[in-house]
Amino acid sequence: MTALCLPLVHAQIAIDSFIVSPEKVIPGNEAIIEMTLENVGSDDVNNVRVVLDLKELPFVPIESSNEKVIRKIYDRDDATLFFRIKALPTAEPAVYTIPVTISYDDVSKISLISIEVAAPAHLAVLLQKTEIVKVKDQGKVTIKMVNDGLTTIKNLKIQLRESPAYRLTSPGTLYVGEVDIGDFETEEFTLVAMREDLTIILDIEYRDSANTVYTEAKLLTLPVYSEEEAEQLGLVEKNSLLLPGIGIIIVLGAVLIYRRRKRKNHAL
């Protein structure tokens, strides 16, 4: 990679190339800048001072200063130096330009190098709650989407796939929008469970701060029980056959008492 040079005065020392390892730095991680300076003149140059201007930038030097000195660069020769820097945890994903000041004798010039900070996006999708308990129940299923990555998520859209395991009774595609780092959003789908322990499939699409598109499928399992299992677990009230029987006995008893009284009245 070749640096863009902005000379203040005529100089014979220039940045020939630089390499940043890794090419994309994650916020909170370190990077090494390997910089090669070339003496394009016909004279040797002593005490070449190289300074990275990190002011106003989300980087700090690691285990050394932002300044290096090369004692001598011979004519038509080059020299390599290394800087260790760290991207601050709060660094926003972007391409940053770092001014590099090269000075020696009465000469000073500024060159520009660039470093890209890239943060991987990640979205956790969780089942927050469900109103569905047993087969044939209709209820709301609440999905929680957590941005646990290192970049803001934009244009988030979720779509619930159709399946014979359930019948969807609400819109199947929802637009969520933006989810900040460390934040979350919730959305609801309404469906009817057609089988036990059904699995729903969500198609997720979103962009990171660099407009990179992410698409993935998420699987969530809903604990759905049969009527008998739900009763055994105490999740629903038992359908008791005793109460209807008692009701029938009471009615029959009332009829018999009525008939006996009617017969006595006739006898009188």
Closest to 16 (Cα-Cα) out of 125, 100, 106, 136: 100
Same domain? For 108 and 173 the reply is no
Are 104 and 47 contacting, i.e. CB atoms less than 8 angstroms apart?
Answer: yes
User: Does residue 20 belong to any structural domain of this protein?
Assistant: yes
Number of domains in the chain: 2
The domain of 219 spans 123-232
Same domain? For 132 and 223 the reply is yes
Model pTM score: 0.66
State which of 68, 93, 117 marks the end of a domain.
117
Structure tokens at 256: 């018999």
Rounded to a whole number of angstroms, the CA Rg of the chain reads 37
Same domain? For 79 and 152 the reply is no
Closest to 87 (Cα-Cα) out of 118, 106, 59: 59
- Going by pLDDT thresholds of 50, 70 and 90, the confidence category of residue 236 is confident
Same domain? For 12 and 66 the reply is yes
- CA dist., res. 92 & res. 117, Å (int): 7
Alpha-helical segments (H) within 68-209:
none
Same domain? For 96 and 24 the reply is yes
User: Does residue 172 belong to any structural domain of this protein?
Assistant: yes
pLDDT per residue as tens digits for the range 155-186:
999 999 999 999 999 999 999 999 999 999 99
What residue type is assigned to position 108 of the chain?
A: S
Q: What is the pLDDT of residue 192?
A: 96
Q: What is the pLDDT of residue 209?
A: 84
Same domain? For 61 and 145 the reply is no
Same domain? For 101 and 134 the reply is no
CATH number at residue 31: 2.60.40.10
Q: Is 244 helix (H, G, I), strand (E, B) or coil?
A: helix
Same domain? For 143 and 106 the reply is no
Are 95 and 114 contacting, i.e. CB atoms less than 8 angstroms apart?
Answer: yes
User: Does residue 256 belong to any structural domain of this protein?
Assistant: no
Beta bridge partners of 98: 113
Same domain? For 86 and 131 the reply is no
pLDDT per residue as tens digits for the range 204-224:
999 998 888 999 999 999 999
- CA dist., res. 207 & res. 213, Å (int): 5
Are 94 and 66 contacting, i.e. CB atoms less than 8 angstroms apart?
Answer: no
Are 117 and 24 contacting, i.e. CB atoms less than 8 angstroms apart?
Answer: yes
pLDDT at 5 over 50: no
Are 116 and 24 contacting, i.e. CB atoms less than 8 angstroms apart?
Answer: yes
CB neighbours of 130 closer than 8 A, spacing ≥ 6?
139, 140, 141, 142, 222, 223
**Phi, psi dihedral angles at 206 (to 5 degrees):** -160, 170
Q: What is the pLDDT of residue 41?
A: 87
- CA dist., res. 135 & res. 228, Å (int): 11
User: Does residue 258 belong to any structural domain of this protein?
Assistant: no
